[in-house]
Amino acid sequence: MSSGISALSSFLLIRTVPKVGNCMRHHLTHLRAMDLLMAFLSVISVSLVCARWWGHSEWSPQTLQLFYDVDSLICYFFLAHFAYGWVRAPNRMAFFKANWFYLPGSLPMVEQLRWARLIQLWRVYQLLRDRPDLLGMFRRERNETTLSGILFLFFLLLGVGSGVMYWLETGQPGSLIQTPYDAFWWTLVTLSTVGYGDLVPKTEEGRFVASLLILFGVGLFGALSGFMASLFVHPGKTNDDTTLWRRQQSEQQAQLLQELKALRAEVRALQQK
C-alpha cells in the first residue's frame, strides 16, 4: 500500500511537470547570470536615452554625444550576445522566432527603438518573480557567472571611474582631463592596464582614484585571463556542474517513470481481482 501511495504521489508530480515546462518554454530558458548582466546594461541604456532626450539643458553637447556613443557600444554588445545565442541554439529558427523582438532595441542606428530594451527588463522581472534559486544557478553555471561578473565589474568601474575622474579633474589648473571623452578614454586605458600616458590626473584626489582603478584593473584582467586559460586548458569540461545537474535530473525522471510503471501494474492487478 505504501508503494502504491508513493507511486501515486510520483504520478501527480509528473502531471505537474508540463505546467512548469510551459512556463519555461514561455521564457525559453531559466534565469541565467547573463540575463542579469543584460538587465543591468538595459537599465544603463534606457538611462542614457533619457539623459539625451530630456537633458539638453543640463548636459553639454560633448557629454550628450558621449552618452550616444556609449549606448551604441552597448548595442553592439547586445547584438554579439544575440548572435552567440543564435549560433549555440539547437534549433536556430525556433530561437530566432522566440527572440526576434530583442533585435530592434539592439540596432545602434535607430535611437528611438532603444526603448525596446524595456522588454529585456520585463523578461528578467518575470523570471525573478518566480523566485529562482540564485545561489544554485551561480553554482551550476560557474563559467557564465564568472564571465558575467567580470563584465559587470568592468562596465561598472568604467562608468563610475569616468564620472568621478571628470568631476575631479575638469577645470583644474594644468589638468589634461577636461572633457567627458578625456575621462572616458583615460578610464578605459587604465582599466585595460595599457597605460598610454597621454592623459594623467593632476590633482591629489584624481591620483587617488587612479590608484584604485589601477588595482581593480589589474585584478579584473587577471581574472579574465585565468578564465580564458581555463577554457583552453579544459575545453571539454567547461560546465561540469551543469552536466552533473542534468544527469541527476535524468536519474530522477527515470526513477519516477519506474514508479509510475509499478503503479500501473498494481492497478491492473487490482482490476483483475
User: In this structure, what are the phi and psi dihedrals at residue 21, rounded to the nearest 5 degrees?
Assistant: -60, -40
How many C-beta neighbours within 10 Å does residue 39 have? 19
pTM over 0.95: no
Mean pLDDT across the stretch 72-81? 87
C-alpha cell of residue 62 = 560633448
Conformation bin of residue 250: beta by default, left when phi > 0, alpha when psi is -120 to 50: alpha
* Alpha-carbon gap, residue 37 to 151, rounded angstroms: 8
Question: What pLDDT, on the 0 to 100 scale, is given for residue 15?
Answer: 42
Question: What pLDDT, on the 0 to 100 scale, is given for residue 26?
Answer: 38
CB-side exposure of 189: number of CA atoms within 13 Å?
Answer: 13
- CB of 161 closer than 8 Å to CB of 205: no
* pLDDT per residue as tens digits for the range 34-69: 888 888 888 888 888 888 888 777 888 888 888 888
Tell me the CA end-to-end span of the chain in Å, nearest whole number: 16
Q: Which residues contact 81 (CB under 8 A, 6 or more apart)?
A: 34, 38
* Alpha-carbon gap, residue 107 to 102, rounded angstroms: 10
Mean pLDDT across the stretch 65-90? 86
* Alpha-carbon gap, residue 144 to 201, rounded angstroms: 35
Q: Which residues contact 267 (CB under 8 A, 6 or more apart)?
A: none
Report for 6-15, 69-78, 218-227: range of highest mean pLDDT = 69-78
Q: Which of 112, 111, 19 is nearest to 69 (CA)?
A: 111
How many C-beta neighbours within 10 Å does residue 113 have? 15
Residue 238 pLDDT > 50, yes or no? no
